[in-house]
Structure 1
């Protein structure tokens, strides 16, 4: 599904363009994934695990654009990919089709500018338009900034997966499951 280009103003007064990432953004998306994965332990992968080719990422972006029940919104600041959020249907079966999964990341140098709030607000609006009844996410248990953001938007904690992440140094992180009814 396409998210039409929209300009918003960030907390610092900077202009931010929101739009669907296109196939020609594949290389920027890969760089963004590598950067965000290296900046925090809270991402699902390490940066060296971002191994897709430009063609593979382009195919992912095309599937999102062509989808009727998935959407990705990218935030660009001065033509740099600063953040990204997406929703996808949990499953195509009738019993699951009312549920959407949600993911988001913002590059660290853009933290505190309101990009997360903007992306979350837009994606929730799109989830409602699509007809989802519930949005679900998981978040690392000590990622307090993200948890606070999600709670601000009405997400509630409904469970924990203990030892969900095992880091290279042997430490574990639990993962909190959160949902928002629409």
Structure 2
């Protein structure tokens, strides 16, 4: 999929939202590892990622040509400040209407409007791709993310009290959310 839009953050700074491609691989890998080190609210720890710049180049090149999946970069002053994307839940007929949403933003850029902009961009792309439902899991203690998702129309449909287990052994409850697109 292709996407490109310039938005202005809360402080007036320009931010380019664009579909990532092979040329963005190193920056996307770097921000992925950074964001996953900054919070326990994401799916993996940075050292668990099998990503290499070469694998990411191949993956992003494939996404750039995909009719229904995308990774979007938020670029501020030439720096990738975060990414978000949609991916198909499955290719089977019974699953084709569903997409998953994921997002990660460098902590240095939190509370500037990038999360909302990336979320709305992914919603637009999911609609354009013909999905009927966009889904996500969010850590229950992540009030900022929960507030954002609810404000754009996501609704809770369940909880998994042992959704994540941190390296310290603590359980993190996951809130399962969905947004009807059609």
Provide the residue aligned with 1:2 in structure 2: 2
TM-score normalised by L of structure 2: 0.96
Q: Secondary structure at the match of 2:10?
A: coil
Instruction: Please list the CA deviations of residues 18-57 of structure 1 after superposition, one character each: whole Å capped at 9, or x if unmatched.
Output: 1111212111111101110011110111122234211111
TM-score normalised by L of structure 1: 0.96
| Aligned mates of 1:140, 1:147 — CA distance in 2 | 8
Query: How far off is 1:162 after superposition?
Result: 2.0
Question: Do the aligned partners of 2:165 and 2:171 also contact (CA within 8 Å) in 1?
Answer: yes
Over 4 Å off, 4+ runs: none
Question: Do the aligned partners of 1:10 and 1:16 also contact (CA within 8 Å) in 2?
Answer: yes
| Aligned mates of 1:125, 1:21 — CA distance in 2 | 16
Question: Do the aligned partners of 2:138 and 2:175 also contact (CA within 8 Å) in 1?
Answer: yes
Unpaired runs of 5+ residues, structure 2, are none
Q: Secondary structure at the match of 2:122?
A: helix
Unpaired runs of 5+ residues, structure 1, are none
Provide the residue aligned with 1:158 in structure 2: 157
Provide the residue aligned with 2:119 in structure 1: 120
Provide the residue aligned with 1:133 in structure 2: 132
Number of residue pairs matched? Answer: 181
| Aligned mates of 2:154, 2:132 — CA distance in 1 | 13
Instruction: Please list the CA deviations of residues 145-174 of structure 1 after superposition, one character each: whole Å capped at 9, or x if unmatched.
Output: 101100001101111122111111111101
Query: How far off is 1:107 after superposition?
Result: 0.8
